[in-house]
A and B are shown apart, each in its own frame.
Chain A
Amino acid sequence: MHRLGQLESAIMERMWSYQGAAAVRDILEDIQRDREIAYMTVKTVMDTLNRKGLLVREQDGRAFRYRPTKTREQYAAAHMGEVLAGGSDRTATLLHFLEQIPADEVAQLRVVLDQAAQIKAQTQASE
């Protein structure tokens, strides 16, 4: 992950762990416990996250307060939904090890595999 991605990830991680809204300064102080970072850097990234639709912000006096648009679980679910929805249209985007298979066909797979394993065990035993 490149550096900007890391910072976005660090900020989202904190936003998700906050209950409710947070100001840039809250996040800044939190991150500053680990490392040195400028207010404007955090603010810029949080505005980027806002533009990307990951954070919403509302005016609170002179500053903004931010909150995640989705919980981490919702965000992960949406992402994995995209990944698993795949189907044949998405083959150029990502290549699955395996497409999802209906349960009765999975049972068929198991039969074939067990037979093969059995044959292998037998040949090894006879050797």
Chain B
Amino acid sequence: MSAPLLLLVYAVAAAAVAPLLSRGTWSDRSPRVGILVWQTLSATIIAGIVFAGVALAVPAMPFTSNLADFLRACVMTLQEQYSTPGGAIVTTAGALTAAAVAARTGFCLLAELLSAHRARRQQLQSLALLARRDSSGQFLVVEHADAAAYCLPGRRNEIVFTSAALGALDKDQQAAVLAHEMAHLRGRHHLILAAANAIHRAFPRVPAFRIARTELMRLVEMDADDRAAHSSSRLTVATAVVRLAEANPAPSAALGAGGASALARVRRLASPTVPLGVLRTALAVTAAAAMLVLPLTVAAAPAVSSAYAQTCPTGFPASA
């Protein structure tokens, strides 16, 4: 009983850490470390709950290389657990929780990926009719009065500029935007965001997932900014952000959600970078690794320890 409880407490604690983690600017300093931490935090919360359910449903059974022994042990321990009404309820509740959480997460992820895929196919179809390829061959251009630059990830990675966006930027700034979008495509940022969206949609009431999604949306932009700044300069990327914002202000305050994030990006690009030190980076990566391994370890620990201790369930035939 202690493993499920421990896992549940762990998952709740991990969820409670999210608001604290979102404070400060540590992740802005090293966006890629931030992305890793937020992804593993979301994963570990879900894994904690799922494994807590599994640990409730599946009592600790000894590992043995003999399959017949193992199956017999399974049947006996399960029989034992179901023999009391309380045990049966706990087992069923555990199994249902694990299955429901895992299924809901998987379903939402699939739905998210499918709808994005469909929307992208639609987009590509329209682009085939509307866009022309730039002479460099690197991006598509759509004649339009609104300034916009974006990438369409997928099997055919495409980067699209509107004619107004090209008009608002000089060559260096265009190259910076192009490098930013290429960084999105290379980093598979759309998958990071699809997962964050899906988890948030699956459990909309969990603040940790809402925070993780907001953080990840900001961090992938900052990561792409950093990579774009490698090939041009930080000030060029910042200028491109401001130029595009000026070329195409949102018609109403309600529509423009990107203000805070853009301001953070420009501030960050405008001042010299101070990436996280080696120590803090190592700490963050270790924490992320621990978050990946911990739920599984706790869930598996009773079974492993019972295998070592050779404490078999009652009535386990010694001769077999």
Contacts and interface: CB of A to CB of B under 8 A. Distances in A.
Contact of A1 (B128, B241, B271): B128
A102 B150 contact: no
Given A88-B257, A100-B258, A112-B266, 11 more contacts: A6-B128, A8-B128, A79-B123, A80-B162, A84-B146, A94-B119, A96-B149, A97-B181, A97-B244, A98-B258, A120-B235
Interface string A14-58: 000000000000000000000000000000000000001010000
B262 A99 contact: yes
A-B pairs with the 8 shortest C-beta distances? A99-B258, A116-B270, A105-B259, A100-B250, A92-B194, A5-B128, A92-B116, A97-B149
A34 B251 CA distance: 44
Contacts of A117: 235, 239
25 contacts: A9-B128, A54-B129, A79-B130, A79-B142, A82-B123, A88-B257, A91-B190, A94-B119, A94-B152, A95-B153, A97-B181, A98-B244, A99-B257, A99-B262, A100-B249, A101-B245, A106-B242, A106-B249, A108-B263, A109-B245, A109-B266, A110-B246, A113-B266, A116-B270, A116-B271
A87 interface: yes
A110 B244 CA distance: 11
Interface residues of B, number: 68
Contact of A99 (B184, B191, B220, B256): B256
A12 B130 CA distance: 9
A109 B256 contact: no
A115 interface: yes
A79 B267 CA distance: 32
B257 A87 contact: yes
Contacts of B153: 94-95
Interface of B: 112-113, 115-116, 119-120, 122-123, 125-130, 133, 142-144, 146, 148-153, 160, 162, 177, 180-181, 184, 189-191, 193-194, 197, 213, 217, 220, 235, 238-242, 244-246, 248-253, 255-259, 261-263, 266-267, 269-271
Nearest to A105: B259
Interface in A54-103: 54, 72, 75-76, 79-80, 82-84, 87-103
Contact of A110 (B112, B126, B242): B242
B270 A113 contact: yes
Contact of A102 (B116, B238, B240, B256): B256
Nearest to A112: B266
Interface of A: 1, 5-6, 8-9, 12-13, 52, 54, 72, 75-76, 79-80, 82-84, 87-106, 108-110, 112-113, 115-117, 120
Given A83-B150, A88-B217, A9 B129 contact: yes
B202 to A, nearest CB: 14
Contact of A95 (B150, B251, B261): B150
B144 A76 contact: yes
B190 A98 contact: no
B25 to A, nearest CB: 15
A12 B149 contact: no
B150 A97 contact: yes
A118 to B, nearest CB: 10
A98 B240 CA distance: 10
A115 B160 CA distance: 31
A94 B120 contact: yes
A8 B263 CA distance: 42
Contacts of A106: 242, 245-246, 249
Nearest to B255: A100
B271 to A, nearest CB: 7
A94 B121 CA distance: 11
